[in-house]
Each structure stands twice: as structure tokens, then as C-alpha cells.
Chain A
């Protein structure tokens, strides 16, 4: 194979670059303003309440954090599993992973009741808490991926690339398992009381991360007027197809095992049949848009080498993934906890036994979107400053 040259990604036109960055900056500024507003007023100005304690910001944050770990997949395949076609994409894979994680964490932190006490979270650890472990897993991820990128970019340390790649691979599996386990530990809530939650999050991360990777890769090469060959895109596309199928499989397994557990019938029919907006999000958002549509776009011979189909499939996966997390996070809370089996709640001073309502507000959405903008801005700046992208990704001649 011919030698790869990496070069900073300059946009075809400087105005386009700066205008793009300014747009992202504006979105971030609006998000930060929204966070300040919610913090200053208190959370009552959001849609969240004592019933729905984690709202839209958590959906965005978890979505981005999960995707971050999956975005590193391409690098892992390149250096850990020795896939030569993937190897040139490793640097970008690492950069995107860092960007997505930073965006997700920003949203998570700014939605805390007391973000000013972040230092407490960094210094006080309850090692029984999976949240505390996640603080360590997330900070470690930055460090390890940083070193990993270094071994990819600097020839003098490139001999460490494989071992560091292994560490990064296992670290990110741990990270997603940790994120999934946040829910697995909530024994009292029927929606989350399932061991399958953690592996499901790992496979979700593969799928969302790769979708983010593909869509931004295509965008970057259009943006920088560079060439990208069909061979690599087809590989990535096929891989995405496998992941999407796996997520669908896990989602089915999760819901079917819940159907086996008698106490969980309530939550199942809530999600699958009569949960109103959550049922729609599940069937239309997660299953139709997030799984069936991309599988069709990926495997239908009609779209064989169509880049638009690949891009559209990736976007559909991301939209479906967003809904999937929305249903897990918000739907799981909206469904009432069953404190008194065999009894019906006739009256309650605190909304027992009723489906909690939640309407997301603009500030929450603005904060969440700002997280995505942070990820993209970091990628845009990082790719311009460092040699991340290969000069060309045209198919090798041999």
C-alpha cells in the first residue's frame, strides 16, 4: 500500500471555515447562557421535576458519552485488530472520541444542581457509587486517548501504539459498561432492573459512535475538498449495518426478557403499547428510523455506492439512537414505581401511581445541542491544528 501522508485539514474556503466556527460558537454561547439561566433560576424553569429528575440534558449527555466510546472503534480496529484499511482513520477516530466525550460531559456537569461544586465530585469518592467510578473512567479516557493519539502521530513512540491501543480498547468498554450500569443499579425501577443494560450500552456505543464517525468523515472531506474512496466507505457502511442489527437484536432481547418477568409486564406494555409518546418514540424513532430505515439504506442494492445513502443511514442511526436513550431515560422515569404491589393508588400527595409528565423546555434543548456543537468545534479546530486526516483516502491501487 502506498504511504499515507497526513495533513492539517484546511477548508476549501477560509470564510467557510470561520463562518462554520462562528456558527458553532454561537450555538455554544446560547447553550451556556441557557445553563446559566437554569442554574440561576433553579431547575423549576425546566421541564424537570421531582418525578422526572433527569431530563433532556441527560439524554444528550448520555447519548454523546456513549457515542464517544464507540467513535474510538475505528482506531481500535486499525491498531488492535490490524485492519489496514482502517488504520489511516485512527487519528480522526481518537479526536472525535475526545470531542464527543467533552461535549457530553459539559452538558452533564452544567445540569448538576451545583456545578460549582465540581471540585467536590473530583475529590470525594464513594467507591460504591458507579457515578464516582465514571468520573475516573471519563477522566482516564481523555488521558489514554490523548496518549493513543500521540503514539499514532509521533513516529518515535509509535512502537507503543499497539499496547496503548489495547488499553484504550478495554478502557472504553469499561467506560460504556459503567455508563450502562448507572441504570443497572436502580433496582427499584422496573425499566432499569436488567443485567442486559450494560452490554446493550456497549453495542449502542458501537453503532452511534460509528454513525457519528461516518457522517463527520464525509463532511470533513467535502469541507476540505479531499478525496475519499468507495472501498473504505463501503467497509464502514457494512460495519455500521452489523452494529445497527446488533442494537436491534439487543433491544428485542431486552424487551422480551422483560416480558418474561411478570412484575415487569407493566413497564413493557407501557413502552411497547400504551405509553403514548414513549411508545411512538420506541416504534417510530428507535425501530423504524433508527434501525429499519438505515438497514434498508445500507443493504439495499439500489443504493450500492451512494454516499447520500450512507450519510442518510448514519443520520437515521443517530436520530434513532437519540430516541432510544430518550425512551430509556425519560420513559423509564415516567412510568410510576410500584410501591404497593396489588394495590391501586387512589390519592397521593406526591404523584404516586401516575405516569409523570415531562415537557422539555428550550433551555434544556439549547444546552444539549451546545454539547454537540462543542464536539464538532473541537474536531474542526483539532483537525486544522494537528495532522489528523490523511491527505487523501482514495482507494489503494492494489
Chain B
């Protein structure tokens, strides 16, 4: 498997059919900004390689016992809890760790890391797993044959297989029995110009502010500034997947 070369990915496969054109920058809630990209027809063009969306997560700020991000994600994408944790879908989870040497305890949310060189995309036989040019890794639910090879290949256990028929689906997240899915980086929000994921919104609301979403390619974005200023790591950085999700204080 080539890890060094950039994975060619489809130009503009949209997660959902339609996109909503945003006009001007409108603040619809504190911290939720709708903004249009200046002078471009980007919304109708779909994803653009001028961006790479990602997140930086501060493990020090992740509060013990909190599940705001997980609840918000489940809510946003209608991931119903059927009381069967082994087979229920989990796009985001919290993990609590103890350093074997020092005993230091840390806590962090883990989701699809939106790898630049995603093993899930490499192994998918039908091209159902794909990476948009803006770095978001998605599954095309019309192509996925449910072979689950991507789940075997993902180093982060980020993916869930849908083990039963679903009802009450969110319009943002078409899902179906027999297919695989994972965190979409709230791509429906990105495509509508809302620069905040559901998990970040919830974490901010809960007053922790552990999650920061943004454009890794824009040197002036808050996320780029934070990454420049502070030390951060990738989980399993040794695999050289160049993840879009980074962690501080881990």
C-alpha cells in the first residue's frame, strides 16, 4: 500500500444530492456562522481542494463523565440506540486512558480521523469509500456492498456496520442496513457553509470547548493557528496516514 503518494480522489461527489447556496455571512446562533466563499460558485461545484477540513481536540479540556459530543452526533444523524452496544452504530466515542508509566489520566473523543491516505479507501473494492478533495472521507451508500473490508483496515475502529433495518432517518444522513458508515465531519453542514460540527457545537455549549473544527489549508484559520502554536499529535502517527483530526495534550 502506498502511503507516500496522495490518494487520487473523486472531485465532487456530494454526500447528499442537493446543496444549499449560502448568501453572505450570517450568524444564526452564537458561534454558528453561515458564510459564503467570496465570488465563487463553490456550492454548486461541490467540494473544493482549496480546503482541507479537520479538527483539533484538546484532551485536557475533555471533561470526565461528559457525553455531549456523542449525544449530539447521535442526534444529528439519528443514530438510534437499540440497546445492543456491540452492533449499534458509533461515529464518535469517548475513551479514557491511563499512562502505564506515570498513571496520568486523559480523556478524548475518537471518531473517523479523515486520513489523507485512508486505508479504508485503499481497500474498498467498489470505490464506495472515497475521499473528497476537501479531505472528508465518506461512504457512498449506493455503492457499498457491505463487505466490511474497510472496517478491517481502519486503524481507528472508526466505522460501523448497520446490523438492522433503520427507520426515522435524518435527511442529512441517508443510512441503510447492510452498509458501512462513519463520521462525515458533518459534511452536510460544510456543504451548507456552516463551519461547525455537531460535536463541536455541543462541546462548546457544555462549556468545555475541547473540539475545534476548521480549514487546515487556510493558514489564518483558528485551527491552523492553534496547530502552529501548540504541539499536537496524530493517533498512531507511526502509520503516516496524515490524519485530519489532531490531538493536543495527549
Q: Which residues of A contact B (CB under 8 A)?
A: 39, 41-44, 48-51, 53-54, 112-115, 117-118, 120-121, 124-126, 128-132, 135, 182, 185-189, 333, 337, 339-340, 342-352
- Assembled-state Cα–Cα distance A347/B66 (Å): 13
Contacts of B146 in A (CB 8 A): 112-114, 117
- B100 and A342 contacting across the interface, CB-CB below 8 Å: yes
- A346 and B100 contacting across the interface, CB-CB below 8 Å: no
Which of B158-166, B188-196, B204-212 contacts the other chain? B158-166
- A53 and B123 contacting across the interface, CB-CB below 8 Å: no
Which of A115, A131, A349 sits near B125, CB closer than 8 Å? A131
Contacts of B86 in A (CB 8 A): 49-51, 351
- A187 and B149 contacting across the interface, CB-CB below 8 Å: no
What's the minimum C-beta distance from B73 to chain A, rounded to whole angstroms? Answer: 11
Which of A48, A126, A339, A351 sits near B236, CB closer than 8 Å? A339
Which of A50, A117, A131, A349 sits near B149, CB closer than 8 Å? A131
B217 at the interface (CB under 8 A from A): no
Contacts of B154 in A (CB 8 A): 188
- B side interface size, CB within 8 A: 60
B84 at the interface (CB under 8 A from A): yes
A114-B179 contact, Cβ under 8 Å, with A50-B90, A188-B119: yes
A126-B127 contact, Cβ under 8 Å, with A113-B161, A114-B145, A347-B96: yes
- A124 and B127 contacting across the interface, CB-CB below 8 Å: yes
Closest to B147 in A: A112
* 28 A-B contacts (beta carbon < 8 Å): A42-B162, A42-B177, A43-B161, A49-B163, A50-B88, A50-B151, A50-B163, A113-B144, A113-B148, A113-B162, A120-B143, A121-B125, A126-B127, A128-B1, A131-B124, A132-B126, A135-B125, A182-B149, A185-B122, A185-B153, A188-B236, A345-B97, A346-B97, A346-B105, A347-B96, A349-B93, A350-B95, A350-B157
What is the predominant secondary structure among interface residues of chain A facing chain B? loop
Contacts of A114 in B (CB 8 A): 144-146, 178-179
- Assembled-state Cα–Cα distance A229/B123 (Å): 48
- A348 and B151 contacting across the interface, CB-CB below 8 Å: no
- A129 and B122 contacting across the interface, CB-CB below 8 Å: yes
B44 at the interface (CB under 8 A from A): no
Closest to A44 in B: B163
- Assembled-state Cα–Cα distance A186/B123 (Å): 9
Contacts of B95 in A (CB 8 A): 339-340, 345, 347-350, 352
- A129 and B149 contacting across the interface, CB-CB below 8 Å: yes
What is the predominant secondary structure among interface residues of chain B facing chain A? loop
B22 at the interface (CB under 8 A from A): no
- B155 and A339 contacting across the interface, CB-CB below 8 Å: yes
Contact string against A for B residues 167-208, beta-carbon threshold 8 Å, 1 for contact and 0 otherwise: 000000000011110000000000000000000000000000
- A343 and B99 contacting across the interface, CB-CB below 8 Å: yes
What's the minimum C-beta distance from A279 to chain B, rounded to whole angstroms? Answer: 22
- A118 and B145 contacting across the interface, CB-CB below 8 Å: yes
A185-B145 contact, Cβ under 8 Å, with A121-B125, A343-B99: no
B138 at the interface (CB under 8 A from A): no
- Assembled-state Cα–Cα distance A155/B1 (Å): 45
Closest to B122 in A: A128
A349-B94 contact, Cβ under 8 Å, with A42-B162, A49-B86, A339-B155: yes
What's the minimum C-beta distance from B110 to chain A, rounded to whole angstroms? Answer: 7
- Assembled-state Cα–Cα distance A42/B153 (Å): 22
- B152 and A50 contacting across the interface, CB-CB below 8 Å: no
Closest to A118 in B: B145
- Assembled-state Cα–Cα distance A302/B86 (Å): 51
- A349 and B90 contacting across the interface, CB-CB below 8 Å: yes
- Assembled-state Cα–Cα distance A308/B92 (Å): 57
Contacts of B87 in A (CB 8 A): 43-44, 49-50
- A44 and B155 contacting across the interface, CB-CB below 8 Å: no
- Assembled-state Cα–Cα distance A39/B176 (Å): 12
- Assembled-state Cα–Cα distance A333/B151 (Å): 11
- B236 and A125 contacting across the interface, CB-CB below 8 Å: no
- Of residues A39, A112, A129, which shows the largest number of chain B Cβ atoms within 10 Å of its Cβ? A129
B21 at the interface (CB under 8 A from A): no
What's the minimum C-beta distance from A34 to chain B, rounded to whole angstroms? Answer: 16
Which of A53, A348, A349 sits near B152, CB closer than 8 Å? A53
B220 at the interface (CB under 8 A from A): no
Contacts of B127 in A (CB 8 A): 124-126
What's the minimum C-beta distance from A31 to chain B, rounded to whole angstroms? Answer: 19
- A121 and B151 contacting across the interface, CB-CB below 8 Å: no
- Assembled-state Cα–Cα distance A118/B126 (Å): 10
- A187 and B1 contacting across the interface, CB-CB below 8 Å: yes
- Assembled-state Cα–Cα distance A132/B124 (Å): 8
- B96 and A345 contacting across the interface, CB-CB below 8 Å: yes
A339-B152 contact, Cβ under 8 Å, with A50-B90, A346-B98: no
- Assembled-state Cα–Cα distance A80/B94 (Å): 58
- A343 and B97 contacting across the interface, CB-CB below 8 Å: yes
- A126 and B124 contacting across the interface, CB-CB below 8 Å: yes
- Assembled-state Cα–Cα distance A41/B147 (Å): 17
A343-B98 contact, Cβ under 8 Å, with A188-B153, A188-B155, A189-B152: yes
- Of residues A50, A115, A129, which shows the largest number of chain B Cβ atoms within 10 Å of its Cβ? A50
